[in-house]
A and B are shown apart, each in its own frame.
Chain A
Amino acid sequence: MGETVVEESEELATPGDVLGRAAEVKPGRGAYLASHNNLVYASLTGRVRTVAPPPGSPDKRPTVEVIGHKAHGAVPEPGSVVIARVTKVLSRMASADILCVGPKSVREKFTGIIRQQDVRATEIDKVDMHSSFLPGDIVRAIVLSLGDARAYYLSTAKNELGVVSAESTAGATMVPVSWTEMQCPLTGQNEKRKELN
């Protein structure tokens, strides 16, 4: 992956400041293009940063961004890997609270649903939800889509997705033994989960 040249200027921009013409710069995060006069304006308060275009791209314009000081919480996007805690398990789906998106934790909770057909990649009609997840499990899943009004649609249908950590009925953190089972260190009992490899 080539190095992108980033240049941070001493300029402080506030909303409404002109950053350049549309023919010369592309608006990035914190900037927007006003269509009526083709100028790029800042939309946040912060330092102006110019990112050179990637070497192979046809568009030779640098991207201008404004780095604000307030960090917003992460929001799940389709295709992002999330960590979620399972709250409810029903016969055809499991409900989970999304805790982290990628490496960042979220500021306020988002709800996700793992449907029966999205638990694993093979034999998707024979999935038993209660042998895959139990309430309280921490799972790594991928966001399929924004879903309906109530929840995001999540999927664990890949080798690297599934239950990351779970508590056994005895109360100890279980250790994975295969991709379908986890073992409790205290009692030695195996419990069924959709594990990741």
Chain B
Amino acid sequence: MEYVSPEGLRIDGRRPMEMRKLQAEIGVVAKADGSAVFEMGNTKVIAAVYGPREVQNRSQQLSDQALVRCEYSMANFSTGDRMRKPKGDRRSTEISLVIRQTMEACILTQLMPRSQIDIYVQVLQADGGTRSACINAATLALADAGIPMRDFVTSCSAGYLNSTPLLDLNYVEDSAGGPDVTVGILPKLDKVTLLQMDAKLPLDIFENVMQLAVEGCKAIADYIREVLSENTKQLEYRRGL
């Protein structure tokens, strides 16, 4: 099947280096300490953060840093066919672990010993790149909760189909069987916290694809920064400052 037309357009009309439309909203779950909805094209994800709060399971308490827990689940209606087991299956457990490790690297956990930070992420609509959308949503929710972080973590995926590196794969391109590289970085500090790939790629092409994903991450970071600044200004305006 042709994923990139001879004119250089993808199935949804994007150019190979073009990302999908980003949209984010903060403070959507009033009860949570921080929350955000993040959309990348048709993929829509909601994240809620509770914490720092007292550890519920004393045996897991860490005396010198905060405990970070993460739970990823997909809503039954998020994919075309109704899902039978949205939580607890292997893919969800793996993605929960991945998101937890990624966010733990950027939260300043030593500032909050003996406490717990819970990150809940749920996919409302899945169209490829759910892992990345979840990490971006979790970053926004953590910033909204006022949890001290080293830097944002932004994530983006890139692939290689029809001999072209493609940025931000959607579901159809993801299921094509080609390589899918997911990168998570700390944009200002220029450090990589997540790097995953399935399928195989020669090393030189891999470098190109990874560099493309990193640029996508930096563009998402600019957008997130803008959303947070706008949100802070709105809050100050409402407080009459």
Contact = CB atoms under 8 A, between A and B. Distances in A.
B58 interface: yes
Q: Interface residue tally of chain A, by bracket?
A: 20 to 34
A116 to B, nearest CB: 25
A78 interface: no
Residue in B106, B143, B144, B148 with the greatest tally of chain A CB atoms within 10 Å: B148
A133 interface: no
A16 interface: yes
A123 B4 CA distance: 87
Interface bin, chain B = 20 to 34
Interface in A19-75: 30, 32, 34, 41, 43-47, 68-70, 72
Interface in A107-162: 107-108, 110, 146, 149-150
A14 B228 contact: yes
Nearest to B151: A16
B144 A12 contact: no
Nearest to B53: A108
Interface of A: 12, 14-18, 30, 32, 34, 41, 43-47, 68-70, 72, 107-108, 110, 146, 149-150
21 contacts: A14-B152, A14-B229, A15-B106, A15-B150, A16-B150, A16-B188, A16-B189, A32-B148, A34-B150, A34-B189, A43-B108, A44-B143, A44-B146, A45-B229, A46-B232, A69-B232, A69-B235, A69-B236, A70-B34, A70-B144, A146-B114
